Structure 1
């Protein structure tokens, strides 16, 4: 009897051990190859739950702040699929990269390491490898204006400048990072890809606290291989817009115009 009981316990434990979800990735390494600097290199690692219990991904950790992960948040039932997305920001990071994201879950193998790698090249390096025909097949960024003057603004006010961008190329135009010497310019919201022949309004937030006349050179990076796009923001930054806002006109005080 004791032998039968021990055998039953072993069988139950074995069954419990095999009652688990299994994360089966199509691949655990992706090579982007040559990546134009300034683009967001994105890849989705696809997986299938080949086990017999639901799989829940608890967390995904990137090996550096330059890589942003995302993943399927809902339980993945047996036989169903999900994704783990890795986004590498190549802006200001020329050269070879090799980064990992670690997936933690309740699967039979609780931790899986995924790897992305590639070689970030500046646009001049990429352009040198393209024929005129290949270059003509890519996206093309055209701005409606290259300068915006905010006029008088209060320090830390963060006003918005609107620019219309048209894609006159033949592939989707993807806008990437904003670069400026003051680190005070950014997108109001993440811009969506712009289809060939279409236009979109892009809003830039200017958060300048330095007083006086300011002129900022701003670079918009994108996947346009013709080069990055430059524009200029101007402003007269004052400490307080209300101070001195009354001026004398014909001997009487009137609001500043």
Structure 2
């Protein structure tokens, strides 16, 4: 009996030791990526690849970027020992000229609960970038063409979202990537980033309009893409913005007519 009580603590210690070393390990090919110079308006993407060099599956529970300008994606299924996975970072350079240095924090059940990845680069203006493009690069560029550059909403209610569908076409030689839209009113947004548009193909952009000023409005929307030979395409959104679209009734009050809702 004494031997049994002597063996049990030793066995427990051995099991604890085994469990301590039974973990997944994220081994990245690189934890930093330098985009170097990118043209303003382009969404620059990089995929950080990793391998699970441990002996247990790795589950990534969350990936958090240091700013809203960077959108992450990652392997959602458990990564088994010996298998590979990815963390994808997309940096939206629209309206962000100059150098940048952003981090992506990866949370998992691996041996290191958090890993910090870094992307950096220098965003240059389209005019500056155009000086460095070769004739061959310009010839292979995608080309963004808007087939309906005006949309009239008619009457819309202030602060009530409306949606415009704008058709665009790629008349260039390589895939066209739409990255963002920009307006002076900051009241128009791209509802979702479409898939890359193949040469000679069309797509529909959905623009959400949140009117915040009354009256007859014309909002000029600039569409940014990886088209290096043209200025951002422009779309005009027109609307008559009113306080309310609710119908009103008129009732008699003495000899006067007054509105009644």
TM-score range, shorter chain: 0.7 to 0.9
Which structure 1 segments of 5+ residues have no match? 247-257
Partner of 1:173: 176
Superposition deviation, residue 209 in structure 1: 3.3
Q: Which moved more, 1:63-72 or 1:93-102?
A: 63-72
Cα distance in structure 1, aligned partners of 2:159 and 2:24 = 52
Query: Given the alignment, which residue of 132, 141, 144 partners 2:144?
Result: 141
Query: Which stretch has the larger CA shift, 86-95 or 166-175?
Result: 86-95
1:162 to partner: Cα distance: 2.2
- Of 203, 207, 229, the residue aligned with 1:204 is 207
CA gap of 1:152–1:9, structure 2 versus 1, over 3 A, is: closer
Moved more, 162-171 or 57-66: 57-66
1:22 is aligned, of 7, 25, 30, to 25
From 227, 232, 249, give the equivalent of 2:231: 227
SS at match of 1:54: coil
- Partner secondary structure for residue 138 of structure 2: helix
Q: Secondary structure at the match of 2:90?
A: strand
1:87 and 2:87 aligned: no
Q: How much is the aligned-residue C-alpha RMSD, in angstroms?
A: 2.4
Q: How many residues align?
A: 246
Partner of 1:75: 78
CA gap of 1:189–1:103, structure 2 versus 1, over 3 A, is closer
Cα deviations by residue, 1:132-183 (Å, 9 ceiling, x for unpaired): 2211101100111322222233323433222211101111111111111111
Deviation by residue 1:94-128 (Cα, 9 ceiling, x = unmatched): 11111111212221222221111111111111111
List alignment gaps of at least 5 residues for structure 2.
251-261
* Inter-CA distance 16–133: structure 2 relative to 1 (3 Å threshold): same
Partner of 1:135: helix, strand, or coil? helix
Distance in 2 (CA, whole Å) between partners of 1:153 and 1:128 is 44
Normalising by structure 2, what TM-score? 0.85
Distance in 1 between residues matched to 2:191 and 2:90, nearest whole Å: 20
Alignment of 1:96-175 (within 5 A): 96-175=99-178
Provide the rounded CA distance (Å) in 2 between the counterparts of 1:107 and 1:215. Answer: 53
